C-alpha cells in the first residue's frame, strides 16, 4: 500500500502540521499573496522602466502633443473648408512647415546677426549686475566664479538630454514623424489601446480619451494664441519704444510663451537686459512692455482657455515643471503642462464614471 499523502493543516509522518508552500496555487491564501507580490513586482518594474525609458517616452508624448496640434488645426479648417480630412491635414502640415521655412528664409540673416548681438549684450549686462551685487557683499563666498559655476552647472544638468545639435535634430524629427502618423488616423491608436482592456471598460476609455483630446486641443490652441499675442505684442511695443533687437526678442518671447511661468521669466530677463543696455529710458520701456504683454496674456487669454479646458492652478503647473525639469531635462519642462492637464482630466472623468456606476442599480451594472 502507498503511504497516505499529508494534507494541508494535517499532521504529517514526522508529526508536524503541513502548511501550503509558495508554489501551491490551489490554496486561496497563497493566491492572494501571489497577487500582492505581482503588484509590487509590477510597480517596481514600471518605475525601473520609467527611469530607463524616460527620454523615448517623452518623445512619444511630444509626438502626441504635436498630433493634437495638427488635429486641432485640421478640425478648425474643416469648419470653413468641407474637404476630406487627409487633404485638410496636409494643408495644415504644409502651412506650418511653410511658415517656419519662410521665417528662417526671410528673417534668418537679420535674426542671426541679432542673436550674436544679444549674446554679447546679455553677457555684458550679467557681468555688470553680478559685479554690482559682489561689490555690495551679497554674493556667496567665492564671489563671481563660485556663483557662475553653480548657475551654469544647474543649466548644464537641466539640458544634458539635448546637449548636442544631433540629439536635438533627431528628437525633433522623431516628434514630427510620430505626430504626423498619429494625426493621420487617431482613432486607430485609440482602438489599439482599447483592445488591451476588458470589453466592459472600453466604452469609458473611449469617453475619457475623447474628452482628453478635446481638452488638449483647446489647451494647445490657447497656447498658440498666447504665443502669437506675446510675440507680436512684444515686437511691436519694443520697436515703438526704440529698444534694440525688437524682432529677435519678440520671436524668443513668442517661443518661450509655450512654457508657462518659466518662459515668461526668461523672456522678461532678456528683454530688460537688452533694454538697459540701450539706456535707462529703453530699460524702463522694456519693463513696461513685459508687464503689459504678460497682463494681457494672464488676465485675458489664460482665464479664457482655463474656462474652456481644465483649470490648472499656477502653483501646480510650476511645481510640475520643476519636478519634470529636474528628472527629465528640457523635454520634461516643455511637456509638463499638457501632461498635468491629461492626468487631471483623466482622473476627474474616471472619478465621475465610478460615481455614476455606484449610483446605478445593481441590475443595471451587469
Kindly report, residue by residue over 112-154, the tens digit of the pLDDT.
666 666 666 667 767 776 677 666 666 555 544 444 444 444 4
Answer yes or no: are the C-beta atoms of 307 and 244 closer than 8 Å: no
Which of 183, 185, 207 lies closest to 194, judged by CA? 207
CA dihedral 245→246→249→250, nearest 10 degrees, is -160
| C-alpha distance across the termini of the chain, in Å | 52
| Model confidence at 213: pLDDT above 80 | yes
Q: What is the pLDDT of residue 20?
A: 58
Residue 167 cell numbers, joined:
540629439
Q: What is the pLDDT of residue 91?
A: 92
d(CA 55, CA 61): 10
Q: Looking at the whole model, is its pTM more than 0.75?
A: no
Spell out the domain ranges in the chain: 55-360
Which of 15-19, 250-254, 270-274 has the least mean pLDDT? Answer: 15-19
Kindly report, residue by residue over 171-200, the tens digit of the pLDDT.
888 888 899 999 988 888 888 888 888 888
Burial label, 305 (beta-carbon count in 10 A; 0-12, 13-18, 19+): buried
Answer yes or no: are the C-beta atoms of 179 and 216 closer than 8 Å: no
Kindly report, residue by residue over 80-107, the tens digit of the pLDDT.
888 888 899 999 999 888 877 877 666 5
Kindly report, residue by residue over 34-51, the tens digit of the pLDDT.
778 888 888 888 777 777
pLDDT band at 2 (very low <50, low <70, confident <90, very high): very low
Amino acid at each position: 500500500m502507498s503511504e497516505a499523502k499529508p494534507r494541508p493543516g494535517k499532521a504529517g509522518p514526522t508529526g508536524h502540521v503541513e502548511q501550503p508552500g509558495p508554489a501551491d496555487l490551489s490554496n486561496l491564501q497563497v493566491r492572494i499573496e501571489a497577487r500582492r507580490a505581482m503588484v509590487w513586482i509590477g510597480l517596481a518594474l514600471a518605475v525601473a522602466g520609467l527611469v530607463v525609458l524616460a527620454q523615448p517616452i517623452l518623445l512619444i508624448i511630444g509626438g502626441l502633443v504635436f498630433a493634437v496640434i495638427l488635429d486641432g488645426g485640421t478640425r478648425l479648417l474643416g469648419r470653413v473648408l468641407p474637404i476630406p480630412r487627409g487633404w485638410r491635414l496636409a494643408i495644415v502640415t504644409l502651412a506650418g512647415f511653410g511658415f517656419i521655412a519662410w521665417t528662417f528664409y526671410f528673417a534668418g540673416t537679420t535674426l542671426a546677426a541679432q542673436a550674436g548681438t544679444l549674446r554679447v549684450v546679455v553677457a555684458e549686462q550679467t557681468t555688470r549686475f553680478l559685479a554690482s551685487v559682489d561689490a555690495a557683499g551679497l554674493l556667496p563666498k567665492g564671489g563671481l566664479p563660485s556663483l557662475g559655476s553653480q548657475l551654469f552647472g544647474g543649466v548644464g544638468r537641466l539640458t544634458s538630454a539635448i546637449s548636442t545639435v544631433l540629439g536635438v535634430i533627431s528628437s525633433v524629427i522623431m516628434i514630427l514623424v510620430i505626430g504626423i502618423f498619429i494625426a493621420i488616423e487617431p482613432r486607430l491608436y485609440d482602438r489599439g489601446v482599447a483592445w488591451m482592456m476588458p470589453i466592459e471598460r472600453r466604452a469609458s476609455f473611449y469617453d475619457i480619451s475623447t474628452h482628453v483630446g478635446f481638452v488638449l486641443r483647446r489647451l494647445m490652441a490657447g497656447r498658440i494664441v498666447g504665443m502669437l499675442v506675446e510675440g507680436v505684442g512684444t515686437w511691436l511695443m519694443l520697436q515703438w519704444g526704440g529698444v534694440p533687437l525688437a524682432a529677435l526678442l519678440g520671436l524668443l518671447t513668442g517661443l518661450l510663451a509655450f512654457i508657462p511661468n518659466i518662459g515668461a521669466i526668461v523672456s522678461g530677463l532678456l528683454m530688460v537686459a537688452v533694454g538697459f543696455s540701450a539706456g535707462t529710458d529703453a530699460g524702463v520701456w522694456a519693463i513696461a512692455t513685459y508687464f503689459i504683454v504678460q497682463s494681457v496674456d494672464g488676465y485675458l487669454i489664460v482665464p479664457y482657455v482655463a474656462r474652456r479646458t481644465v483649470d490648472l492652478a499656477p502653483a501646480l503647473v510650476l511645481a510640475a515643471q520643476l519636478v519634470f525639469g529636474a528628472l527629465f531635462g528640457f523635454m520634461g519642462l516643455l511637456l509638463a503642462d499638457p501632461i498635468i492637464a491629461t492626468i487631471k482630466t483623466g482622473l476627474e472623468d474616471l472619478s465621475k464614471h465610478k460615481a455614476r456606476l455606484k449610483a446605478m442599480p445593481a441590475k443595471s451594472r451587469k
